[in-house]
Structure formats: structure tokens, C-alpha cells
Amino acid sequence: MQKLIINKLGPIERCELECSQFMTFTGFQASGKSTVAKAIYYFRTIKENILELAKSQALDITPIGGLENEFDVDCNVSLKKALENYLREKFLRTFGSSWGMSNEMYMEYRFTEACFIKISLTNETRYSAPNDIWITLSADLNDFLQKNNRCLCGTPLWINDDGVRKFKEKLYEIFDDQCSVVYIPAGRSMITLLSQQFNYIYAMMDDEQKDSLDSCTKDYLERILRLKPEFSEGLQGLAAYSGRKIALPEKIIIQALDLIKKILRGTYRYSNGEEQIVLDDGKYVKINFSSSGQQECVWILNLLFYYLLQQKQILFIIEEPESHLFPESQKYITELIALVNNCRHSVVLTTHSPYVLGTLNNLLYAGTIPFNDSKKVSEIISESFLLDYNHFNAWFVKDGRIENCMDSEIHMIQNERIDEISKVINENFDKLLELQYIDRESVV
């Protein structure tokens, strides 16, 4: 079981949690939900960072015009040292400057009993800097990096594919983690709103401007810019093309497309450099003229569907999927996320929505109903959406702490967490009614 520990990072005072296949985080704004999500992203993408650094070594480390990238490594630096340098920069791009942080800050991720990585702060004596980022690697990982230093063969334009495959297999075995990470941040609508201009805007940014973006947002931007052309024939066309190469049940694809259509009130297409929402009558709306709800959710839906078809294991980290959506659509998008989760993917979800949490509870509860009643259950909720409580966990973030908010007896999210604010609203309403009643009595 993987484990995350955070101490004094951002709003988080202390966090220690075991990571499951499906995790959801709820709590007030600025309570630290995104900090936890970004910490998971930071650690779970390290194996890909190591792979890219090893490839960079194999390319003879000689920058070639047009091929420079963030993984270029000094030819005199070992793979371990290159990783430590990269993780320091990655920390700053993900969480901001360490100068204002407590020197008691540290975060640690345990992938296995033998493999862990810890990030902490220490006073920098050479330059009198307030906080230097210190990287601690487990003995197994340290040994792996030393033994596989400069292990890939290649030239400045070519790397041996078989060597990369074997290196990747050994690397993923050390981490015991087969998932790639797809981070979908909050505040997506602005990126979608500038859809037509964004290719130009991003191309005109220099490396320093791009590096000023936090790692998660940059990853998201570059991913959607890269994947847009895949949707030139729309979601149906993507499904038809991919369907010839995969063994995914047709029922799953149909259910996913049906949910997307209900949420989006149409379907997505990228045509002639335009992002479009295609309506039932064949007409379309340019994405920058669509509703705020469509703009917020369109690339959640696209990425879930694209990687569902790819059938590669993905950890989806999704912030506030409910943004600008009507409650019914919040239910549908939660069911889509559950559907994808059940196809060998993993999910980290942050939310403020009682509708999202309520839908998750329904999917958990339906999964506990005895097999004899499964046919009746499927008439209410498709078995493709059902969640297994053994691989699910929910956390409430408040006052710098994180609390498990699963009911251990009924294996559902505690209702008081879902209805917490509703109780306050109802109590206020009752007090107003009581006040009005008292006023009437005094008049009489």
C-alpha cells in the first residue's frame, strides 16, 4: 500500500494517508486539497522523470537545434545527481519558493517498503539561503540509479528502443507502479475560452515564461495541445478507429459516449483548427462561445475517454469536476469517472459538491447489495459504475489536518460530511421561522 506524508506544506500542517485506487478529498477553500493532489502528482511522476533523464543521457547530452528540452543533462552529471537537481526545480515549479516555508517542512512518499522518496528543507550554508531543498532516496532506488547510470545506448538522434523498454520495466518494478499520471487542474474554462488563440500564445512564450507556470498546469496545457488533433473525427471517430485495436467491451464505450453526450449536451470535435461542440442536428458551436459548464468539463471528458480507449493504466487527478455543472450533470460526470476507474485506472478527486459525494455514496452502496439482487440493482445503476469500498477512500481537509471520513460500518462517506453545510443553512432557516413566529405573537 502506497503512503503519503506531508508536514507543514502550504495550508497542510500534518497529513498521513494510505493511497487507494480511488481517493476523494473534500473541505473548505484553501484548506489544502490541491496541495495534497499536487504532492501525489509530484511523487507519482518521478519514475517518468527518471526515464526522460536516462534518455537524455543516451542522446549524448549535446543540445541539438530545436531539440532542447527541460531534461537536458550535463554530460558530467550522474543519473542520481541529475534526478536530484531536477526534483529541486520541479518542487519549486509545483509548490513555489521554499524561502517562505517552515524549515520543518517535509513530504515523503512510500511506494513500497523498500522504495521511498523524501523532500525536506535544510539551511543552505554556502549562500545563506533560508531553505535549501534536500532529496532523500531509499537505498534500493539509490542503488538502481547508480547501477543504471548511462545504461541506455544511442546517438544524438536515436535511442535503442529495446534498451528503453527493459529500463522502463525495471524502473516500474522498483516503484511497483504502472500508472502514468494525468492531472486536470481547476480553472480550466479560461484555457478553453482562449482555445483558438492558445496555440499561438503558448508558442510565443519563451522557456522562462513557460517555467513560470506550475508543473501541473503546464502538463495539462501541453497534453491538450498535443491531443487535440486526435479528435478530428470527433469522439465517435476516435472510438471507431481505436476500437479495431483494443479489447475494451463495446458496452463500456457506448456507456461512456452516452454519459458524455448527456453532460456536454452534444459531442466534441476538433476541425480546421477549431474546437467545436456538435449538436444533435449536426450544427455546432465554437467552444469559446459555449456555456461555462461545457468549457469547464470538455477536457475532463475528452481525456477520460481518450485514455479509456488507450487502455494504458492512468492515475487521473481531477480537481473540482463539478465546476459550473447542473446537479444532474454532476451525477453523470461522477458516474463517468467511476466507469473509467473500473477499467484498471486510478482516481484522485477533489470536490466541494454534495452531489458528487452523494453519487459516490450511491455507487458504493449499490456495490454492497447481495449478488442475488444484482439484476434489480442494474436497473437503477449500471454495474459498470459500481465502486468497491475496499479500493476507495474519502478524506476531509480542515484546519491543516486531514481526516478519514469513511463510515467503517456501512463503507460509505459519512453523511455528516456531505450535509455539513446543509445543516447550518437549515438551522438558520428554522431560526428565521421561529423569529417570524415570535414577532407575530408579539403583535397579537
Residue 328 and residue 359 in contact, taking contact as beta carbons nearer than 8 Å: no
> For the chain, which ranges sit under pLDDT 50?
62-68
d(CA 415, CA 424): 14
What's the pLDDT at 70? Answer: 62
What's the pLDDT at 201? Answer: 64
What's the pLDDT at 79? Answer: 94
Model pLDDT for residues 298-355, shown as the tens digit of each residue: 999 999 999 999 989 999 999 999 999 999 999 999 999 999 999 999 999 999 999 9
What's the pLDDT at 66? Answer: 41
pTM, two decimal places = 0.90
What's the pLDDT at 63? Answer: 43
Residue 273 and residue 288 in contact, taking contact as beta carbons nearer than 8 Å: no
What's the pLDDT at 173? Answer: 96
Cell numbers at 368, concatenated: 454492497
What's the pLDDT at 140? Answer: 95
